[in-house]
Structure 1
Amino acid sequence: MDEVPEEGPEEVAAALHELVTGMVRLLVLDRQGMSLTTTAVLDRLEREGPIRLTVLAAAEGVTQPSMTALVQRLEAQDLASRVADPEDGRVRLVTVTDAGRERLARRRRAGDARVADLLATLPEQDVRALAETMHTVMPIVRRLLGTAPRLRAEGDGSAS
């Protein structure tokens, strides 16, 4: 068995950055007409449910005016809407629409197909090795990502 080198946080961070950058470049080739920011916002709305615009802007690291403009564009495309907050009728929450969910699903399917096509070019043992690695890595990455929005929103108080 090959010896696994011991790596510190900096080396792991660099490897993850290389992986993410490469995958993003690959996946943005077929964006289904959506920017990465639009996709991130719709994905967050789908995962977390209706959310205040100010909280959404902070979580995505953009200014409130920028998020307001994006949400207006999403509303115009019927990908998102604003609904009354059940706890405070004066407050409006941003939510993803069924059309937004379908657009996200199409984008995911297109990205999955692009990666599957690439995987099909690899030897079977490489695909198995990647599958085993992903089985180990994904729970760790999901935990890590689960802390990221909270850290950014609580960090220095800025939304940029």
Structure 2
Amino acid sequence: MADVKSEQSEERHEALQALESSFSELMTVFRRFVSEAAERVSPGMLPATFKALSVVSRFGPLTLSALAERLTADKGFLSRAISELEDLGLVTRTPDPNDGRSRLITVTELGHARLADARAPHESRLYDAMADWSIDDIRHLSTLLHALAVGEVPVRG
């Protein structure tokens, strides 16, 4: 019995190492995409600034505090990044109607257009890579990734 547990433990360890390696590959590809997209939005733009623009586009309007929390990033850096984006005409800051001390960050039409243009070269990559996958496999992967992200055991369907 102890040999079976030891064998399963070793198999789990090997499987987790393979998963870690796969995530590393995926993150390398993602970092390259973000760097290239940031450069397309505005030459010299830092990838972290592009991420801030992307998050505001997806979840905004947001306060600086909410953006910092969502990105788990330093408010000082984000304040400078938002100022850069504002200077480029990609975001605006307006008073928060719920809190007069805060300002809401919103992506402008130009910001949305630049994001779309920046993402266009990679937009179909995921679709193309999974073109031959079954819809059930795609949904299962989505379920597994969500469970991993939130630290839950995946529900088997």
Q: TM-score, normalising length from structure 2?
A: 0.66
Q: Identity of paired residues, percent?
A: 25
Q: Distance in 2 between matches of 1:27 and 1:66?
A: 18
| Cα RMSD after superposing both structures | 3.2
Q: CA deviation at 1:28?
A: 3.5
Post-superposition CA distance 1:21-63 (Å, at most 9, x none): 1343356345413432122111211221121212322332332
| Equivalent residue number for residue 53 of structure 2 | 42
Alignment of 1:25 with 2:32, yes or no, is yes
Check conservation: 2:52, 2:78, Cα contact below 8 A: no
- Aligned length, in residue pairs: 135
Distance 1:138 1:14 in 2: 19
Q: Does 1:136 align with 2:136?
A: no
Amino acid at match of 2:27: V
Quote how far apart the aligned CAs of 1:12 are.
Answer: 2.1
Partner of 1:88: 99
1:134 to partner: Cα distance: 4.0
Higher RCO by CA contacts (8 Å cutoff, separation 6 or greater): 1
CA distance in 1, matches of 2:23, 2:100: 43
Q: Is the 8 A contact 1:83 1:94 kept in 2?
A: yes
| Structural mapping, 1:3-152, within 5 Å | 8-25=15-32, 28-29=35-36, 31-32=39-40, 33=42, 34-112=45-123, 115=125, 127-129=131-133, 133-141=137-145, 144=148, 147=150
Q: Distance in 2 between matches of 1:72 and 1:27?
A: 20
Q: Which runs of 5+ in 1 are unaligned?
A: 149-160
TM-superposition CA deviations, 1:140-160 (whole Å, max 9, x none): 435655x59xxxxxxxxxxxx
In 2, are the aligned partners of 1:27 and 1:111 still within 8 Å (CA)?
A: no
Q: In the alignment, residue 71 of structure 1 is paired with which amino acid? A: I
CA contact (8 A) 2:34 2:47 kept: no
Could you tell which deviates more after superposition, 53-62 or 96-105? 53-62
TM-score (norm 1): 0.65
Matched-pair contact (CA < 8 Å) for 2:64–2:79? yes
State the distance in 1 between where 2:102 and 2:79 align.
14
Gaps of 5+ in 2: 1-10, 152-157
